[in-house]
Amino acid sequence: MTSSSLKRICLWSLIGFLSASALLAVVCLLLGDFGEVQVKIILSTLTISGASLCGMACSAFVEKTRWIWPGGVGIFFAAATALLVLLGIWAELNFDDYWKWTASFAVVAVFLAHALLLHIPTLAPAYGLVRRGLNICLAILVLQILSVIWLDASSSFFFRSMGAVAVIALLLTLVIPICARLAGGAVTMRDRLLLTQDEGDIFHDEQGRRYRVTSLSAEE
pLDDT tens for 164-188 read: 999 999 999 999 999 888 865 434 4
Largest CA distance in the chain: 77
The predicted structure's pLDDT at residue 217: 60
The predicted structure's pLDDT at residue 99: 95
pLDDT digits (tens, 9 = 90+) for 21-49: 778 777 776 776 667 887 888 888 888 88
The predicted structure's pLDDT at residue 175: 93
Euclidean distance between CA atoms 66 and 43, whole angstroms: 34
Q: CA 10: distance to chain centroid?
A: 11
Where helices occur in 32-67 by DSSP H, the ranges are 36-65
The predicted structure's pLDDT at residue 44: 85
* 196-199 and 202-204 strand pairing: antiparallel
Exposure of 203 in the CB half-sphere (CA atoms within 13 A)? 12
Amino acid at 55: G
Euclidean distance between CA atoms 24 and 15, whole angstroms: 14
Burial class of residue 38, CB neighbours in 10 A (0-12, 13-18, 19+)? middle
Euclidean distance between CA atoms 106 and 142, whole angstroms: 11
The partner residues of 203 in beta bridges, in order of sequence, read 197, 211
The predicted structure's pLDDT at residue 185: 45
Q: What dihedral do alpha carbons 47, 49, 53, 54 form, nearest 10°? A: 20
The predicted structure's pLDDT at residue 186: 38
Q: Could you say which residues of the chain have pLDDT below 50?
A: 185-190, 218, 220
Contact at 8 Å (CB) between 179 and 130?
Answer: yes
pTM of model > 0.85: no
